[in-house]
Structure 1
Amino acid sequence: MWKTASKIHFVAAIFIASLGNAQLFRTKDRADNLEGFDNQKFSYGFYLAGNNFDYKLVLDPMFGMDGQKNLVQSKSSYSFGAGLIGKLRLNDNFDLRFEPGLQFVERELYFNTQSNDQYAGGTNANPPFTPRTLTDADKLRTVKSTYVDLPLLIEVHGDRWYNSRPYAAAGVNWMMNLQSNSKAADDNSQGLFRTTSSNFAWSAELGIQFYFSRFKLTPGFRGTFMINDEMVADNPDTPPYWTSAISSAKSRALMFVLKFE
């Protein structure tokens, strides 16, 4: 995930550098834009986001590992999101931000767990089961998620320098997954990987705010990390090829956001 996401960083860095060249270094005969904008008690806007979501997997030592080999792999994918911005000015250096949005996500999990047939006779902690031959469809699970993302962030920013200023933000998120299937009766035996609907995460963000004559543009990078385990266990009579191989699955995401205020 993070190697491919570095490509996004590089492109985004070029974009920010171009803005910086226009906004920071061409200072001759230029008036400051939107001088009283940040003195407003409340302000509003919207944002667009390019995302890279992945799962941080902790595997079960018995069903998810074969010696030092991981039997379950997660593959990230690029996605997008959008949302609204509400800002409450606290003082000259701190703002409180509420940025509700939608994040559209698709990931893949690959289960190379046929070797768990060796436990078919049962163990002290697990009942016996009837082995089945895993097909390619059994091994691959495409997990689609639509998160209603509700982050509450505290933002701290430096002093304004001409038409720009740096900022950092951190806070907590409540993320409701509209495609969780958490209450579905089917599980991985029928090809359905279930996840929790209500989730909590924390986020951290860095960026630079640029002031134009009619609006403020803020490019930034945000990391979001789920706190709770999102996986819903398979039904008790399902063989241990899928969720039994995973102790926990928590989302982690890197986002490039563009905010318009």
Structure 2
Amino acid sequence: MNKFLLRALVLASVNIAVLANAQFFRTRNRMDKLEDFDEQKFSWGFYLNGNMLDYRIVLNPRYGTYGNQNLVTSKESTSFGAGLIAKWRLNDYLDLRMEPGLQFAQRKLMFNTQYNDQYQNGTLTNDPFVPIPLTDKDKTREVKSTLVDVPVLLELHGHRWYNSRPYVAAGVNYVVNLQSNSDSTDDNMQQVFRSTTHNFAWSAEMGIQFYFNKFKLTPAIRGTFFMNNEMVADNATTPPYWASAISTLQTRAIMFVLKFE
């Protein structure tokens, strides 16, 4: 279902571009639409988006690698989300936008860390432990996330070209993961993967705004990259098969957005 939604959004963006070429960029018998829309001090709207999410992983050199082999890998996934738009006009070239939204994600982490049995007698960073045979269930973590994403973006644009206007934007995000399990006393030993609840990210975006008779439609592409480490360490008595193998874990996402204002 997520892949279908993502493809639908991409196809919609392509169709909008074709429509724009036919409808907005012709100069013959052309009428400007929503001429005073961008003169408003404040404006509102909503958006729908499809996402491609993955993790940026920095492995622990002792527990996360074996020779030239990475013992922990991730698999990207597609997902969807929606949110609201609040825009504050600063001047003819700059707008300040806040776009709080709800994003749904499910990613997969694979732990091929049975090699860490060699450290069962303990190291400077890990106490001795009793090795366990890792099952397929132990080696895979399905990480489900419900993200409350609050980006604040500064938008830079030029003047309208007929009924369209390109723009670029950049800013910072505050992201709350409602399924982080950060307060859980269970950890990967009990099949519970823990990550941070409160996170910060930066975003960059580009798109084209199209003006219709009643509303403004904006297809855009946005990249969002977490700045903090999301990894929560396992309990001290848990063998170094999971969290100990990862030094840094950070979400990165590419979003295909359709905005309606």
Q: TM-score range by the shorter chain?
A: over 0.9
Q: 1:7 to 1:259 in 2, by over 3 A?
A: closer
In the alignment, is the contact (CA less than 8 A) between 2:225 and 2:253 conserved in 1?
A: yes
* C-alpha distance 219-104 of structure 1, shift in aligned 2 (>3 A): same
In 2, Cα distance between the equivalents of 1:12 and 1:54? 24
Q: In the alignment, is residue 83 of structure 1 matched against residue 83 of structure 2?
A: yes
CA offset at residue 159 of structure 1?
Answer: 1.1
Q: Could you list the runs of 4 or more consecutive aligned residues of structure 1 that deviate by over 6 angstroms after TM superposition?
A: 6-10
Task: Kindly provide the CA deviation profile for residues 16-47 of structure 1, in whole angstroms up to 9, marking residues without a partner as x.
Answer: 43133134333310200000000000000000
Q: What is aligned with 1:47?
A: 47
Q: Does 1:148 align with 2:155?
A: no
Q: Structure 2 length normalisation: TM-score?
A: 0.95
| 2:119 maps to amino acid | Y
Work out whether residues 23 and 164 of structure 1, in 8 Å CA contact, stay in contact via their aligned partners in 2: no
Q: Which residue of 1 aligns with 2:17?
A: 17
Q: Which amino acid aligns with 2:148?
A: V
Following superposition of structure 1 onto structure 2, how do residues 77-226 of structure 1 map, counting pairs within 5 Å? 77-226=77-226
Task: Report percent identity of matched pairs.
Answer: 65
**What residue identity is the alignment partner of 2:125?**
A
Unaligned runs of 5+ in 1: 1-5
Q: TM-score, normalised by structure 1?
A: 0.95
Distance 1:54 1:149 in 2: 16
Q: What are structure 2's unaligned runs of at least 5 residues?
A: 1-5
The C-alpha deviation readout for 1:202-242, integer Å capped at 9, x for no partner, is: 00000000000110000000000000011111000000000
How far does residue 7 in structure 1 lie from its aligned partner after superposition?
8.0
Secondary structure of the 2:172 match is strand
State whether structure 2 residue 73 is matched by structure 1 residue 70: no
- The number of equivalent residue pairs is 256
Residue type matched to 2:112 in 1?
N
**Residue of structure 1 in register with 2:239 after alignment:** 239
Which amino acid is the alignment partner of residue 93 of structure 2? N
Q: What's the RMSD between the two structures over aligned residues?
A: 1.6
